[in-house]
Structure 1
Amino acid sequence: MELQVSNSPFNQEQADLLNRLLPTLSGVQASWLSGYLTALHAQAGAVLPAQPNTDAAAPAPASTAAREITILFGSQTGNCSGLARKLSKKLAEQGGQVTVSSMSDFKPNHLKKIENLLILVSTHGEGDPPDNAISFYEFLHSKRAPRLEGLSYSVLALGDTSYEFFCQTGKDFDKRLEELGGKRLVPRVDCDVDIDEPAGEWITEVLRAFREEGSQSAPSSPSIGATAANETDHEFSRTNPFHAEILENINLNGRGSDRETRHIELSLEGSGLEYEPGDSLGIYPENHPQLVDELIGFMEWNPEEAISINKKGEKMALRDALLRHYEITVLTKPLLALAAGLSSDERLQELVQAGHEQELKAYLEGRDLLDLVQDYQFKGTPAQSFAGILRKLPARLYSIASSSKGYPDEVHVTIRKVQYESYGRDRFGVCSVQLAERLRSGATLPVYIQHNPNFKLPENPETPIIMIGPGTGVAPFRAFLSDREESGAGGKTWLFYGDQHFTTDFLYQTDWQRWLKDGVLTRMDVAFSRDTDKKIYVQHRMLEKKRELYVWLQEGACVYVCGDEKKMAHDVHATLAAILEQEGGLSPEDAAEYLQRMQQEKRYQRDVY
């Protein structure tokens, strides 16, 4: 866009000079010039037009103002939706006309009308789309998807390198949009569990691309994106956790159980943190001291050696860094590829080469960092060099088991201790064992709230709800019922719960019994798999009550599933489909469509892991 006498306050000579100068300016030069002119006018006593407060370095450029931008997110736990809203705010501050939508709420036939599309999507399980992205994903990969030659797009993919199909959903979207004729605005960025830095860099590039594409003279302000994903203020968040005091830490399992499930109550007093039923609590744990000391001892490192832990050069004693900062219990393909560069062991060099994928996958399963350094030649590797290949210790997310209406300034979680033997050594669940063995009332934990808009009670309190949560998967349903009790919701409620033994493993039994007595819980069906000759699970109880379940579905009941994704959630889904076929007379295809429609209507929600 060129300056003209008709569209600016300049005369022809001034416009010609500016049109020659502005396209040659770099982003830094444009920003400097903008600040210089502002200061010059202020010094002269001039009154400048009010500017929106976007970034201290530069006012919002006008080049984005005419752009309509659509942001679609697919998120299982809420990370993508949170990033999408932050990005939307930044684009709007630049003058963009931004629409933000969950993929499940987006009408696919509108896709061909979009010129600028930004996708933020996580990968769930073994390369699957998150629940609220399934319908859009299937549409885009079907023959009904339109040609998109006029589309500019970019993808931010979230994932976990400990899974085989890292960021697969984001990769699929990126590839498919290109196949349909779309042009990348900026390249796709894949984020591991520590999302802040790569997500911030992607946002920076997206903001810059819209400015530069709109006008070569648009001033550049890189710091806008640098803080987009990691806003540093006084609020407690994932990047600024609150240190919550432990009020209660008790074992819910009875004597004789081979399981240990901790009920943890934490104080949020003074934090300003708020949550709703269905949200999760993020906890930053510490690694097991035994594993840390064995690792340091084998490598003959100095535990007090100060090492840099990030690009800023912040330092920490090696033992503290291995305890609190680095992940040392999970091996991933990227980690082994980097480790091969530090080892002279030819076996490791070969393991990470193409053609050895199955051997590599088998090695990663059940091993940790101590196994790696013991199995290959790493002795003599400097601690700083080795630490440089490690990823940051991620927070653990747990479904919240309380309602803030019933427990103001508190949050409760339900955590099952994980401990097992593998390759001749005891293995410890990082967070679960820390809470079970090393923390008691009075200790503190760094925590934050992970909001989950994809697992929420229905807006209408009269809507019936069906809750399916074996084991610790029952935690959010304690929050649901506590919230309904406090609000006086009148809708019917039905809980399916299962575990191993009735006498020792019936988590929160007295709570359910009280709610059944008071009418907060309308009915409950339980399955204790080790109390009968034939193992009985929640899906078997569902089939036994299939007629009543179908009636509830026809009445508009919402279905919630929480717990193990790999087996339980799949079995429950198949059981729901079978009930629709048997009681509703639907074909398998129609039953699948019925469940998909329920998901789109938010009547079928899952919090599975």
Structure 2
Amino acid sequence: MNAALKLPLPAPTLDADRLAQLAALTSGLSSADLYWIAAYSAALAARLPEQAGRIVVSESSVAEVGQTAGCLSIVYGSQTGNSRRVAEQLAARAEAAGLTVRLLRTGVYPVRELAQERHLVVVISSQGDGDPPDDAIGFIEFIAGKRAPKLPLLKFAVLGLGDSSYPKFCAVSRELDARLIELGASRFAPAGEADVDFDTTAAEWSAGVLETAREGLSVPNAPTRHASPLHAVSASPHYSRDNPFPASVLENQRIVSRDSDRDVRHIELSLEGSGLQYEPGDAIGVWPRNPPMLVEQWLSALKLDGTVEVEHDGRRLPLARWLSHERELTRLTRPLVAAQAAATRHGELQRVLEPGQQPAFAALLESHQPIDLLRQFPAAWDATRLVATLRPLTPRLYSIASSARVVGSDEVHLTVGVVEYFAHQSTHYGAASAFLANAGDDVPVPVFIESNERFRLPIDGSRDVIMIGPGTGIAPFRAFVQERQATAASGRNWLFFGNRHFTQDFLYQLEWQEALHSGALHRLDLTFSRDAASKVYVQQRLREHGRELYAWLRDGAHIYVCGDSAHMARDVNEALLDIIATHGGLSVEDARAWLTELLQQGRYARDVY
């Protein structure tokens, strides 16, 4: 993660009104956006008055409008940062190969220029039920809509990042690829798709794209050069996703009542000596270990010996080590279902993979873990084939629940819902949550920081903030309220929280009560779905307070949502649309456009999973 630059600001030459306008304009923007504006302003200053307005500035180059024919435009849509990383790596390699490159995120891509593009690469992720990243919604809607231009001269390539444990794997990239063809564009490289272990696939796809792009842009055998990006680059910390920091556990506390049938933990980790830094809104990545009980279930179900040495990708480890440290055991994926169907030749399993069986396949993914499939449809697996078939274990991201200004830069807090339930005559576990629930003094937790620049508090502390976080979705808002109090932000803070039972599941209850008392929190609206005859969720509370909520938004408030993407986030989004339409006097279409504009401005931000 790039550390924030701590530079002294020059004395302002603008009057107070223009400084206020500048603060409002830049509120909620990411560091990449701010560097873009800085470069744009510098270019304007150099060229005014004759040619201002013809300048297009990206994070890596400056190009003229209408001169994109010799330029490779790389556009990314990213929810958690993976697509951004892949796009940045491709851009760096392309620049080093002598290509002129524009690198833009979808949220700032000027869609009016699409008709002038000649070589375009899109790296985009799918989230939840085949949804685009929040920052890419406007970009996707434009290309899918009636205003999209015909593109007979465009050559393009699309890479989709997804998770095959969801039924609509890479749905966004597939739809985008098909739509660009429909608009008359042609592929200069095949569409690519990468699962959560995307590094190798993305690197191979990028290499092919780069080779073809060099030919198409007439840069054969161009000398390698070092890219000189416009934006400031700070030294990366020693510890990262590929080299996680072994964090010691400072505290591991259950924060639900003893009689609750759920286990939620407040976990505090030490970052001392790591050099890692974080901001409210960021996530911490945890490299988990599969529970020993689950590994034993697999070995028993498959009748395999955990001590058997297995060689794969140049590494030789005991099978039990592969299963505990290296392979995904808790998430069912289409490739694993297909492998099991091929091994068993079971008709029921083969049918759910057929076209048109999407609902049945989605139901299977939702209701079964891989161990259930192995038991229900037994097949003979040898250790080597098993390791080669299973997906690599990947890190889990948890929203950070602390402000470094309050707890110190050498400490980070998490809110973890422990996954453990009984189904199909067996106890089921979550990989990371079980690992964290049992973490203590003897076992360090491998972690890294995942920056989330799209989920930031407003730069202008006078802006009001609305936070919607049921269940463990409350985590980032604990950090937000701490940060706003520490920085003496004058804007109001309104929190919506929901869970099942007031007496069992009111997470951080004393902290919220103290925040209300001290004025750090101005409003707190609660709902506990199992405490009444009929279930009431946060979206109903939003509608109940719709008039005031709309007034806050109309007057410039930022609104944040964190939690479940499959149900809660969709329901909250629909509630917001209803509120905007009802209290803003807008049609459904205009309300949707209004909410999309909030997304584009960074005033509506979601951290959903």
Q: TM-score range by the shorter chain?
A: 0.7 to 0.9
Answer yes or no: is 1:140 the counterpart of 2:147.
no
Q: TM-score, normalised by structure 1?
A: 0.82
Shift of 1:116: 1.7
Note the alpha carbon deviations across 1:56-91, whole angstroms, 9 max, x for none: xxxxxxxxx993222211111121122222322222
> In structure 1, how many angstroms separate the alpha carbons of the residues matched to 2:476 and 2:416?
12
Q: Is the 8 A contact 2:237 2:275 kept in 1?
A: no
In 2 relative to 1, CA 185–498 (structure 1 residues): closer, same or farther, beyond 3 Å? same
Q: Give ranges in structure 1 of 5+ residues lacking alignment.
A: 1-64, 225-232
> In structure 1, how many angstroms separate the alpha carbons of the residues matched to 2:221 and 2:524?
62
Q: Secondary structure at the match of 1:111?
A: helix
Note the alpha carbon deviations across 1:150-175, whole angstroms, 9 max, x for none: 21211110001111111010111111
Shift of 1:573: 1.6
- Aligned residue pairs, count: 532
**One of 282, 294, 309 as aligned partner of 1:306:** 309
Q: Secondary structure at the match of 1:149?
A: coil
Greater CA drift, 261-270 or 210-219: 210-219
Answer yes or no: is 1:284 the counterpart of 2:287.
yes
Q: Secondary structure at the match of 1:495?
A: strand
In 2 relative to 1, CA 373–571 (structure 1 residues): closer, same or farther, beyond 3 Å? closer
User: In terms of Rg, which structure is larger?
Assistant: 1
In 2 relative to 1, CA 217–89 (structure 1 residues): closer, same or farther, beyond 3 Å? closer
Shift of 1:263: 0.6
Note the alpha carbon deviations across 1:197-248, whole angstroms, 9 max, x for none: 1111122222222323344741699xx9xxxxxxxx9832222221111111
Letter in 2 for 1:524: L
Shift of 1:537: 2.1
Q: Is the 8 A contact 2:280 2:403 kept in 1?
A: yes
2:96 — aligned with what? Answer: 93
Letter in 2 for 1:375: Q
In 2 relative to 1, CA 366–579 (structure 1 residues): closer, same or farther, beyond 3 Å? closer
In 2 relative to 1, CA 561–353 (structure 1 residues): closer, same or farther, beyond 3 Å? closer
In 2 relative to 1, CA 342–534 (structure 1 residues): closer, same or farther, beyond 3 Å? closer
In 2 relative to 1, CA 449–258 (structure 1 residues): closer, same or farther, beyond 3 Å? same
2:388 — aligned with what? Answer: 388
Shift of 1:97: 2.9
In 2 relative to 1, CA 356–98 (structure 1 residues): closer, same or farther, beyond 3 Å? closer
Q: Is the 8 A contact 1:344 1:377 kept in 2?
A: no
In 2 relative to 1, CA 350–592 (structure 1 residues): closer, same or farther, beyond 3 Å? closer
1:15 — aligned with what? Answer: none
Q: Secondary structure at the match of 2:248?
A: strand
Letter in 2 for 1:256: D
> In structure 1, how many angstroms separate the alpha carbons of the residues matched to 2:441 and 2:482?
24
Which residues of 2 match residues 46-195 of structure 1 at below 5 A?
67-195=70-198
1:470 — aligned with what? Answer: 470
Which residues of 2 match residues 31-46 of structure 1 at below 5 A?
none
1:548 — aligned with what? Answer: 548
> In structure 1, how many angstroms separate the alpha carbons of the residues matched to 2:283 and 2:451?
6
In 2 relative to 1, CA 518–206 (structure 1 residues): closer, same or farther, beyond 3 Å? same
Which residues of 2 match residues 448-597 of structure 1 at below 5 A?
448-597=448-597
> In structure 2, how many angstroms separate the alpha carbons of the residues matched to 1:432 and 1:241?
18
Letter in 2 for 1:170: S
Which residues of 2 match residues 297-446 of structure 1 at below 5 A?
297-309=300-312, 311=313, 313-343=314-344, 352=353, 360-379=361-380, 381-407=381-407, 408-436=409-437, 438-446=438-446
Q: Is the 8 A contact 2:142 2:148 kept in 1?
A: yes
In 2 relative to 1, CA 341–146 (structure 1 residues): closer, same or farther, beyond 3 Å? same
Q: Is the 8 A contact 2:516 2:522 kept in 1?
A: yes
> In structure 2, how many angstroms separate the alpha carbons of the residues matched to 1:165 and 1:383?
30
In 2 relative to 1, CA 135–512 (structure 1 residues): closer, same or farther, beyond 3 Å? same
> In structure 2, how many angstroms separate the alpha carbons of the residues matched to 1:219 and 1:582?
59
Letter in 2 for 1:254: S
Q: Secondary structure at the match of 1:388?
A: helix
Identity %: 43
Q: Is the 8 A contact 1:76 1:130 kept in 2?
A: yes
Answer yes or no: is 1:262 the counterpart of 2:265.
yes
Q: Give ranges in structure 2 of 5+ residues lacking alignment.
A: 1-67, 228-235
1:8 — aligned with what? Answer: none
**One of 239, 244, 254 as aligned partner of 1:236:** 239
In 2 relative to 1, CA 360–173 (structure 1 residues): closer, same or farther, beyond 3 Å? closer
Q: Is the 8 A contact 1:327 1:390 kept in 2?
A: yes
Greater CA drift, 522-531 or 362-371: 362-371
> In structure 2, how many angstroms separate the alpha carbons of the residues matched to 1:547 and 1:163?
37
Q: Is the 8 A contact 1:516 1:522 kept in 2?
A: yes
Note the alpha carbon deviations across 1:346-404, whole angstroms, 9 max, x for none: 7655664556655555444432333333333423x321022211111121111111112
In 2 relative to 1, CA 514–269 (structure 1 residues): closer, same or farther, beyond 3 Å? same
1:253 — aligned with what? Answer: 256
Q: TM-score, normalised by structure 2?
A: 0.82
Q: Secondary structure at the match of 1:197?
A: helix
1:45 — aligned with what? Answer: none
Root mean square deviation of aligned Cα: 2.4
Greater CA drift, 471-480 or 325-334: 325-334
